[in-house]
Amino acid sequence: MRRKRLLAQSTASRHGAAMGDIKITRDFAGHPAGLAIVTLAEGLQAAGIYGMKALVILYMADFLFTPAELATVGGFAAWRAAVEGLFGPMSLQALATQTMGLYLGLFFLTPLIGGWLGDRHWGPRLTAILGAFLTTAGLVMVISPTLFLPGLLVSALGAGALRCNLTAQTGHLYARNDGRRNAAFSILAAGLNTGAFLGPLVMGALGELVDWQWGFITCAACMALAALTLLVGNGLMPPDTAPEARRSARLQAGDGKTIAALIGVMLLTSLFWLAQSQVWNVYSLWGRDHLDRMVLGLQVPVTWLQAIDSLAPILAVPPVLALWRWQARRGREPKELGKIGIGMALMGVAFLWLALGSGPGKTPFLWVVGFHLMLNIGWLYLVPTMNALFSRSAPVAVTGLMLGAVQFAVFIGSTMSGWLGRFYETMEGPSFWLMHAAFPLTGAAVMWAVRGRLGRVLRL
């Protein structure tokens, strides 16, 4: 009965009043109250997922994918045969980095399915709630070595249903011409980064220093809280259209060009994510092996590198937003495609910086603090801008699906980063990171060259 009530709450058609045009009367700090719900849920799910991701690569490389433990991993022989059948023979550490790359890729591929379900069948509210509970189940499975590999799959499927529909609901809280949209997505990004900071800081350290399983247990608990937040706060979210209205939505004349332009932007940004995804993969192993982690007489856990990576954009938000306001007053604020290009360029510069600091001997800890700051200023330029651009420009009949396409760029980049991880064992550190700098710098150059044509199609 609850599912039927959620699905049928509104019969408004997207051809009439779009969901973003429905007024939500309860406000919070100048924004619809529903923004507080999705931001809290985003922060909690990020704490669970990012805490788990900070642990998984170390867990596999240092413990689970070792000769002493392989017999406990359910389906390991079949998994290794399948991966090596696709990518060739590899060491156990290379298998760990490839598994991490495939997991990260799947984590960001499944939003295409979740977006389609939210657009055409269940609506974004119900799809997000179901996705949160499914992700919780997957994280519980990861606790057991026997269920570890299928647990990764289940958690990725659930996250696909959850994440893009949280983003879609954020867009639906506002009319398409509402000036608060970009700020709302920046607030949502701040919620994500707060959770992504606390997850590795608390759960990552708990798993790395105390017990792997306890780290995974607390990650699952955070995800369960995210699911309960969405369930309890469901009434503050914009109503879903009726199933018949969702299925009857059709693309309009000219939508094909818009979709093609957005796909072009998405493919370019996959070069950004190829470099960024390595921060959650081989970078942790590099930090374990080559970083001087002694700070004030204490050794910093490897998982705290991911906490720094998530703290950096939180610290950078005020000055970046202030810069954009200053530029806007002078009519010089970059347009959305310009911001995306700047974000890719900053990502490339960050990896150039990391390569410069990866010479003989241990890399100073402050050097990687600078790396994370540069990298995440680029993240701020690109990620909230991409979400705002796609939620505004995508045809209303496929909004969730196109927001899933934003995540598909991460799938491409993450999958390739897993494959490139094998070269960590054979290349010198500077060369390995220079290779990663080349990808986003190339993307930035191409974006600079085609931004005018894309902007005309997207009416920017």
Ordered by where they begin, the domains of the chain are 29-458 (1.20.1250.20)
DSSP 294: E
Q: What is the reported pLDDT for 28? A: 62
Does residue 23 carry a pLDDT above 50?
no
Eight-class DSSP state of 242: P
Cα(71)–Cα(78) distance, integer angstroms: 12
Whole-number percent of the chain with pLDDT over 90: 31
For the cut 80, the answer to whether the pLDDT of residue 21 exceeds it is no
**What is the rounded CA–CA span in Å between residue 203 and residue 197?**
10
Asked if the model's pLDDT at residue 102 lies above 80, the reply is yes
d(CA 261, CA 253): 15
Taking the C-alpha atoms of residue 221 and residue 242, their distance in angstroms, rounded to an integer, is 33
Partnered with residue 253 across adjacent β-strands are none
Confidence of residue 435 (pLDDT cuts 50, 70, 90): very high
Q: What count of other Cβ atoms lies within 10 Å of the Cβ of residue 210?
A: 10
Backbone angles phi, psi at 33, to 5 degrees: -60, -25
Region 67-88 average pLDDT: 90
Mean pLDDT within 82-88: 88
Average pLDDT over residues 241-245: 54
Q: Which of 236, 218, 195 is nearest to 45 (CA)?
A: 195
315 pLDDT tier (thresholds 50, 70, 90): confident
Across 228-232, average pLDDT: 90
Asked if pLDDT for residue 35 goes beyond 50, the answer is yes
DSSP string, 358-422: -SSSPBPHHHHHHHHHHHHHHHHHHHHHHHHHHHHHS-GGGHHHHHHHHHHHHHHHHHHHHHHGG
How many of the other CB atoms lie within 10 Å of CB of 38? Answer: 27
CA 40 to chain centre: 16
Sign of CA dihedral 74, 76, 79, 81: negative
- 249/137: higher pLDDT: 137
Extract the tokens encoding 196: 């992504």
pLDDT for 205-216, tens place per residue? Answer: 898 888 988 999
Q: What is the pLDDT of residue 17?
A: 36
* pLDDT-based confidence at residue 248 (cuts at 50, 70, 90): low
Q: Six-digit token pair at 191?
A: 């919620």
The more confident residue out of 106 and 398 is 106
Q: Which range, of 143-147, 191-195, 343-347, averages the lowest pLDDT? A: 191-195
Q: How confident is the model at residue 220 (pLDDT cuts 50, 70, 90)?
A: very high
Query: In terms of pLDDT, which residue wins out, 363 or 106?
Result: 363
User: Can you tell me the distance from the alpha carbon of 344 to that of 446, in angstroms, rounded to the nearest whole number?
Assistant: 10
Confidence of residue 168 (pLDDT cuts 50, 70, 90): confident
When computed from its CA atoms, the radius of gyration of the chain, rounded to whole angstroms, is 21
**DSSP code for 359:** S
Q: Which of 266, 271, 265 is nearest to 443 (CA)?
A: 271
Instruction: Round the average pLDDT of the chain to a whole number and report it.
Output: 83
- What is the DSSP-derived secondary structure letter of residue 208? I
What SS3 class is residue 27? strand
pLDDT at position 370 is 93
Average pLDDT over residues 343-354: 96
Q: How far apart are CA 419 and CA 88, in angstroms?
A: 10
Instruction: State yes or no: pLDDT of 236 exceeds 50.
Output: yes
Q: How many CB atoms lie within 10 A of CB 110?
A: 26
Please choose, from the candidates 42, 377, 335, the residue with its C-alpha nearest in 3D space to the C-alpha of residue 185.
42
Asked if the model's pLDDT at residue 148 lies above 70, the reply is: yes
